[in-house]
Chains A and B, each alone.
Chain A
Amino acid sequence: MPLLQIENLMAYYGPIRALNDISLTIEDGEIVCLLGGNASGKSTTMKTILGIVRPASGSVRFGGERIDRLPTQAIVMRGISLVPEARRLFGRMTVRENLALGAYARRHAPAAEADADYDRIFSLFPRVKERLDQYAGTLSGGEQQMVAIGRALMARPRLLLMDEPSMGLAPVFVDQVFDIIRAINQQGTTILVVEQNAAVALSIAHRGYVLRNGRVVHTDTAAALLASDEIRRAYLGDEE
């Protein structure tokens, strides 16, 4: 049974159709990459998984259970976390409070577990520990991305959704972010990542889906997508 199974998903913003019959699956332990140009429906796919956008039809199953009619908080409680596009930290709160909010779903867990989670974040991102009492809004873009990833990990998700984690980051940070994604995956978290930076994303992913106008137009292993001429032309910056 796949960890996440989306079937025939349709979603609208008012009259605008954002998702047109999307189906995709994610197996336990995978890194799956979602590619596609601007406005192709990548963010909407993630929002629909989380119940922020309600599908008009189709289904989303997580661990076999239908979640497409559940409220967002209930979906999050089942083990799905999001690193949102543009990070969206709580800028008027400290880094510590942002991480604490990430653990909201686990707030009744023993304190020792929360401590272990903080230690895990600090070992992935030593910089975050130095910034704990700073307001999140005052951090640099790279630091904010570390906190956003840390915040999502605090919930101990089984599935981590990452929407353009390298957007707006300096090149050194981009490589670092992808190293971290691989490390998180090796620690046992399944990952769905949206990226504009297709070459880097495919280099760490197992499989990929390509969206266009809200439809899945290609799906294959990452290696095959990397090798495909069409993909190279459209998403890897090779000129037509």
Chain B
Amino acid sequence: MTFADILAILPQQLVFGITLGTAYGLIAIGYTMVYGVLFMINFAHGDVFMIGAYVGWALLGMLFASHVVPMHPMIVLPLLLVGAMVMTGAIGLLLERLAYRPLYQRGATRLGPLISAVGASIFLQNAVMLIAGAREKVYMTYSVFPRTWRFAVAGINVSVLVIVIASIALLMMLGLHWLVQRTWLGRSIRAVAEDREMAAVMGIDVWRVVALTFCIGSALGGAAGVLIGFYYTQINFYMGYAAGLKAFTAAVLGGIGNVRGAMLGGLILGIVESLAVTFINPAFKDVIAFVVLILVLMFRPGGILGEALPDWKRV
């Protein structure tokens, strides 16, 4: 591959990387927010993302078959996103209530909730497999975004789908950023993350904030599931494992507990992955995240935007 070849495909790969990266960032937010308030890694989060993809798939199939609405992105996408987010938001609430809160309120060690999370992950995967079947599902992406919807900018071939995915993910991140920085709920989330006891002394209902944090993080993960479904067009019940691992890496890369870090980490990981797939070896696709994770943990365990964590907050 000559230097000219590399220059020629680099911009194209950057576009893919950014698209993928915004979706990783959206999932990573769920890991980082939950870590912020509970100091645990919610290993079931990747499966919540997977369920978002399945809800989107099911709704898309229903819309396509019933002809009640035209298959236009402006109509179809909001319906799918809202449906997936409501469902995954509710699952997030249930997970917190059934799988984690009882452990914390009985004074669990740090290991207990992690094991519970792995159990919840296995449960969700198998539930989806039993309900929807083990075979891959196909997103009818091209019924909503026709293959001809693409254009060239400065020699880069861009599809409308890619632009829409990246824009929705970015808008959601901006919305979340606004929520965290400007609303009472956001202030409460930050207060609980920084000093739970003092948050309660301010009059904040700490467990309600924890539950809402799960709900928001899960809903964003569910939305990412729909976006990734459209992007890859194929989904399966174990897709949450790899995606979850990548998003977790993104969260650690950005600095676990830091919402802006999760967005940044997602973008970087998406770009690195796209470039590595093109310029090194496509077989490395799912290995890149592991490599990045190990490198971050070795050389900058606090992540890019993370601060040095006090001992009691370390994973």
Residue contact A101 to B202, C-beta cutoff 8 Å: yes
Q: Does B32 contact A (CB under 8 A)?
A: no
Which of chain A's residues have a CB closer than 8 A to the CB of B184?
104, 107
Given A101-B187, A101-B191, are A88 and B203 neighbors across the interface (CB < 8 Å)? no
Within 8 A of B (CB), among A44-102: 50, 52, 71-73, 76-77, 81-82, 84, 88, 90-93, 97, 100-102
Given A90-B190, A92-B190, A93-B194, are A105 and B201 neighbors across the interface (CB < 8 Å)? no
Tell me whether chain B's interface is mostly helix, strand or loop, or mixed: helix
Q: Does A32 contact B (CB under 8 A)?
A: no
Which of chain A's residues have a CB closer than 8 A to the CB of B190?
90, 92-93
Which of chain A's residues have a CB closer than 8 A to the CB of B199?
101
Q: Does A155 contact B (CB under 8 A)?
A: yes
Given A90-B191, A92-B190, A93-B190, are A104 and B203 neighbors across the interface (CB < 8 Å)? yes
- Closest beta carbon of chain A to B49's beta carbon, Å: 28
Residue contact B201 to A84, C-beta cutoff 8 Å: yes
Q: Mark B191-216, 1 if CB is under 8 A from A, else 0.
A: 10011011111111110000000000
How many residues of A are counted as interface, with CB atoms below 8 angstroms from the partner's CB atoms? 24
Which of chain B's residues have a CB closer than 8 A to the CB of A71?
200, 205
Residue contact B191 to A73, C-beta cutoff 8 Å: no
Q: CA separation between A92 and B190, bound complex, in Å?
A: 9
Which of chain B's residues have a CB closer than 8 A to the CB of A52?
197, 200-201
Q: Does B249 contact A (CB under 8 A)?
A: no
Residue contact A73 to B194, C-beta cutoff 8 Å: no
Which of chain A's residues have a CB closer than 8 A to the CB of B198?
84, 88, 90
Q: Does B188 contact A (CB under 8 A)?
A: yes
Chain A CB count within 10 A is highest, among B184, B198, B199, B203, for: B203
Q: Taking CB as reference atom, which chain B residue is nearest A97?
A: B187
| A binding-site residues for B, Cβ under 8 Å | 50, 52, 71-73, 76-77, 81-82, 84, 88, 90-93, 97, 100-102, 104-105, 107, 151, 155
| B binding-site residues for A, Cβ under 8 Å | 184, 187-188, 190-191, 194-195, 197-206
Q: Known contacts A52-B200, A91-B194, A93-B190; can you find 18 more A-B pairs with CB under 8 A? A: A73-B205, A76-B200, A76-B202, A76-B203, A84-B198, A90-B191, A90-B194, A90-B198, A92-B190, A93-B187, A100-B187, A101-B187, A101-B199, A104-B184, A104-B188, A104-B203, A155-B202, A155-B203
Jot down 7 A-B pairs with beta carbons below 8 A, ordered by A. A72-B200, A73-B204, A90-B190, A93-B187, A102-B202, A104-B203, A104-B204
